[in-house]
Amino acid sequence: MRIAIYGAGSLGTILGAYLTKAGLNCELINRNQAHVEALRTQGARVTGTVELTVPVKALLPQEMSGEYDVIFLMTKQLHNPEVVSFLKPYLGETGLICTLQNGIPEPAIAELIGKDRVVGCTVAWGATLLAPGVSQLTSETDSLTFGMGTMEGVGSQGLKLVKGILEHMCPVEVEDNFMGVRWSKLLINAAFSGLGTVIGGTFGDVSEDPRARRVAQYLIKECIDVGHAAGVTFAPVQGKDIVRLLYFKKGGVKRWLSYRIIPIAMKKHRLLKPSMLQDIEHGKPCEVDAINGVVCQFGRQHGVPTPFNDMVVRVIQEMERGEGAPRKDNLDRFQPLF
């Protein structure tokens, strides 16, 4: 069995280290030549909540050859049409693409390769690329999980194959309500990745700062309101009913409870640094349109206002144009929205 991790950056380096350590035939593929060279010469080094170094196979995209049984897609969604079209010839006859991207990427990928070739996966842990070949795991090891589901047509054998691969790293929950899982992950990313990028901080910086936490409450509320309008049933996150814990309609006791629960809910992921923030810091475009932008898009379609998510998109897009920077003062932009 041949496995590729395409876009093996912060998350993919760690996944590749675990799969290779388990004895699987896994190739880590990235466009960054310095990163690939470090992986080749020094191995994949994982630091943070675990410490390990694993010799791995690393390639540049142009060095790919043959066919793969499973390709784990871990690039940003910005270039999915080009990337998926590039990968299509490398899929074996029954080969699958498993997307571990944020947002809701499965439908667009399925249009390019067919619903029967697409498996979706949510990642309930975080990582930061510290240097070429070195990735920091920023979530506690007892909180690492994947949530997995499929489009129509993927057989049970394909699902079992991908699940078995990922279980070499951590537990995998196969979800009947996978779109509900996607929306629950979107909710978390919109609030903590989006706002973390705005203020230049980690998930903990958002959940533990009083002003940021209040904004996060409303980002969460908007995502739930939009999801409900779109007919989504939000799935539990690591066994917790996220809507029951964090949703409120107006003020009062529910909003007060939500405010108190957020730091507890994020405790094991408090060191997670948003990938969007990492992109901004490196002068690269990020995928805010695939995260907060998706909430705004569905809000417009279903007549649900999303002023807080709109503001996150606006502030981050300004940063991408060089018209602003991640800092706590950006919280002032949200004050008129309350």
Domains of the chain: 3-174 (3.40.50.720), 180-337 (1.10.1040.10)
pLDDT tens digits for 182-226? 899 899 999 999 999 999 999 999 999 999 999 999 999 999 999
Q: Is residue 251 exposed (0-12), middle (13-18) or buried (19+ Cβ within 10 Å)?
A: exposed
Q: How far apart are CA 147 and CA 103, in angstroms?
A: 14
In 3D, which of 137, 120, 115, 118 has the Cα closest to residue 47?
137
> Which distant-in-sequence residues (6+ apart) come within 8 Å of 93 by Cβ?
67
What are the tokens at 85? 């079209």
Q: 102-121: buried (b, 16+ CB within 10 Å) or exposed (e) per residue?
A: bbbbbeebbebbeeebbbbb
Q: Which of 45-54, 94-103, 146-155, 181-190 has the lowest mean pLDDT?
A: 146-155
**Residue 2 · residue 165 · CB < 8 Å:** no
pLDDT for 186: 94
Q: How far apart are CA 307 and CA 188, in angstroms?
A: 17
**Is pTM beyond 0.95 here?**
no
pLDDT for 152: 62
Residue 159 pLDDT grade (very low, low, confident, very high; cuts 50, 70, 90): confident
pLDDT for 158: 85
pLDDT for 188: 94
In whole angstroms, how large is the CA radius of gyration of the chain? Answer: 19
Q: Within 10 Å of residue 69's Cβ, how many Cβ atoms?
A: 19
Q: How far apart are CA 67 and CA 83, in angstroms?
A: 16
* Average pLDDT across the chain, whole number: 94
pLDDT for 64: 98
pLDDT tens digits for 285-328? 999 999 999 999 999 999 999 999 999 999 999 999 999 999 99
Over 80: is that where the pLDDT of 144 sits? yes
Q: Is residue 260 exposed (0-12), middle (13-18) or buried (19+ Cβ within 10 Å)?
A: exposed
pLDDT for 153: 56
In 3D, which of 282, 247, 6 has the Cα closest to residue 15?
6
Helices 106-113, 80-87: crossing angle, 10 deg rounding: 40
Over 90: is that where the pLDDT of 257 sits? yes
